[in-house]
Structure 1
Amino acid sequence: MTVRRSGRLATLLLCTALAAPAVPAHAGPAAPSALPAVTPRAETGPLHDDEPGGYADADDPAIWRNAADPERSLVVATAKEGGLRVYDLDARQVQSVPAPPPASPGDAPGRFNNVDLLHGVRLPSGRADLAVVSDRGHDRLRVYRIDRDRPGGPLTDVTDPAAAPVFSADQDEINEEATAYGLATWTDPSTGRSYALVSRNNRTTVALLEITAEPDGTVGYRRVRTLDLPSAFRLPDGSDWSPCGEPGELPQVEGMVVDPANGMLYAGQEDVGIWRTRADLTGTPVLIDTVREYGVPAAYDEESDECLPTGADPGFGGRRLAADVEGLTLLTERDGDGYVLASSQGDDSFALYDREVGDGNEYEGGFRVTAASRTLDGSQECDGAAVLNAPLGRKYPDGLLVVQDGQETPVRDGREATGFKFVDLADVMDAVDD
Structure 2
Amino acid sequence: MKRVTLTLPLISLAACAAGEVEVPIAVRIANATPAVSVTARGETTPVGTTNADAADDPAIWRNAADPAASLIVGTDKKAGVYVYGLDGRVRDFLDAGRVNNVDLKDGVTINGGTGILVVASDRNDIARAKLALFQLDPVTAKLKALGIVDGGSGEAYGVCMGSDTAGLYAFIVLKDGTINQVALDASGTTPTGRIVRTMKLDTQSEGCAVDDRTGTLYVAEEDVGLWRFDARASGSTTPTKIAAADGKNIVADAEGVAIAPIGEKDGYVIVSSQGDNAYTLYRISDDSYVGRFRIVDGAIGGTEETDGIEVMLGDFGPQYPGGLFIAQDGQNGAAAQNFKLVAWADIVKALGLPQ
TM-score of the superposed pair, with normalisation by structure 1: 0.71
Q: 1:33 to 1:227 in 2, by over 3 A?
A: closer
Q: Give, in angstroms, the shift of residue 187 of structure 1.
A: 0.6
Match of 1:78 in 2: 75
- The answer to whether 1:290 aligns with 2:214 is no
- Distance in 2 of aligned mates of 1:285 and 1:213: 29
Residues 200-228 of structure 1 show CA distances to partners (whole Å, capped at 9, x for unaligned) of 12x12110000112532x32211112112
- The amino acid that maps onto 1:147 is D
- Distance in 2 of aligned mates of 1:258 and 1:221: 18
Match of 1:23 in 2: none
Whether contact under 8 Å (2:41, 2:319) holds in the other structure is no
User: Secondary structure of the equivalent of 1:207?
Assistant: strand
Whether contact under 8 Å (1:181, 1:254) holds in the other structure is yes
User: Secondary structure of the equivalent of 1:395?
Assistant: coil
Match of 1:350 in 2: 279
Q: 1:334 to 1:262 in 2, by over 3 A?
A: closer
Count of aligned pairs between the two proteins:
328
- The amino acid that maps onto 1:320 is N
- The answer to whether 1:115 aligns with 2:102 is yes
- Distance in 2 of aligned mates of 1:195 and 1:62: 16
Q: 1:72 to 1:290 in 2, by over 3 A?
A: same
Instruction: Mark the runs of 5 or more structure 1 residues left unpaired by the alignment.
Output: 10-29, 100-109, 169-177, 232-250, 293-317
- The amino acid that maps onto 2:193 is Y
- The amino acid that maps onto 2:68 is E
Q: Report sequence identity in percent.
A: 38
- The answer to whether 1:129 aligns with 2:81 is no
Alignment of 1:26-37 (within 5 A): 32=32, 34-37=34-37
Match of 2:309 in 1: 385
- The amino acid that maps onto 1:197 is F
Q: 1:43 to 1:227 in 2, by over 3 A?
A: same
User: Secondary structure of the equivalent of 1:427?
Assistant: helix
Whether contact under 8 Å (1:8, 1:270) holds in the other structure is no
- Distance in 2 of aligned mates of 1:383 and 1:167: 23
Whether contact under 8 Å (1:334, 1:389) holds in the other structure is no
Q: Give, in angstroms, the shift of residue 44 of structure 1.
A: 1.4
Which of 357, 361, 365 is the aligned partner of 2:291? Answer: 365
Which of 133, 151, 158 is the aligned partner of 1:166? Answer: 151
Whether contact under 8 Å (2:34, 2:292) holds in the other structure is no
Q: Give, in angstroms, the shift of residue 35 of structure 1.
A: 1.4
Residues 163-205 of structure 1 show CA distances to partners (whole Å, capped at 9, x for unaligned) of 3x3223xxxxxxxxx31110110011x33x100001112x121
User: Secondary structure of the equivalent of 1:90?
Assistant: coil
- Distance in 2 of aligned mates of 1:335 and 1:397: 21
Q: 1:275 to 1:335 in 2, by over 3 A?
A: closer
Q: Give, in angstroms, the shift of residue 117 of structure 1.
A: 1.0
- The answer to whether 1:58 aligns with 2:55 is yes
Q: 1:6 to 1:288 in 2, by over 3 A?
A: farther
Misfit runs of 4+, over 6 Å: 1-9
Q: 1:7 to 1:120 in 2, by over 3 A?
A: farther
Residues 64-120 of structure 1 show CA distances to partners (whole Å, capped at 9, x for unaligned) of 011222111000001112201111011111111111xxxxxxxxxx31100011221
Whether contact under 8 Å (1:6, 1:271) holds in the other structure is no
Match of 1:213 in 2: 186
User: Secondary structure of the equivalent of 2:68?
Assistant: helix
Match of 2:85 in 1: 88
Residues 332-374 of structure 1 show CA distances to partners (whole Å, capped at 9, x for unaligned) of 1357531000000000000000001xx3x0001111011113x
Whether contact under 8 Å (2:158, 2:206) holds in the other structure is yes
Residues 269-312 of structure 1 show CA distances to partners (whole Å, capped at 9, x for unaligned) of 111111111013632211111112xxxxxxxxxxxxxxxxxxxx
- The amino acid that maps onto 1:424 is A
- Distance in 2 of aligned mates of 1:149 and 1:127: 14
Q: Give, in angstroms, the shift of residue 41 of structure 1.
A: 0.5
- Distance in 2 of aligned mates of 1:204 and 1:254: 8
User: Secondary structure of the equivalent of 1:143?
Assistant: strand
Match of 1:405 in 2: 329
Match of 2:343 in 1: 424
Q: Give, in angstroms, the shift of residue 33 of structure 1.
A: 7.2
Match of 1:103 in 2: none
Whether contact under 8 Å (1:266, 1:276) holds in the other structure is yes
Q: 1:45 to 1:114 in 2, by over 3 A?
A: same
Which of 235, 259, 272 is the aligned partner of 2:224? Answer: 272
Match of 1:196 in 2: 170
- Distance in 2 of aligned mates of 1:156 and 1:6: 43
- Distance in 2 of aligned mates of 1:334 and 1:328: 19
After superposition, the CA RMSD in angstroms is 2.5
- Distance in 1 of aligned mates of 2:66 and 2:155: 38
Which structure has the greater CA radius of gyration?
A: 1
Whether contact under 8 Å (1:56, 1:83) holds in the other structure is no
- Distance in 2 of aligned mates of 1:67 and 1:35: 32
Q: Give, in angstroms, the shift of residue 148 of structure 1.
A: 1.7
- Distance in 2 of aligned mates of 1:123 and 1:130: 8
Match of 2:10 in 1: none
Residues 367-409 of structure 1 show CA distances to partners (whole Å, capped at 9, x for unaligned) of 1011113xx2101000010001010123223111010000001
Instruction: Mark the runs of 5 or more structure 2 residues left unpaired by the alignment.
Output: 7-15, 24-29
Whether contact under 8 Å (2:32, 2:248) holds in the other structure is no
Alignment of 1:139-154 (within 5 A): 139-150=129-140, 153-154=141-142
Match of 2:200 in 1: 228
- Distance in 1 of aligned mates of 2:244 and 2:265: 26
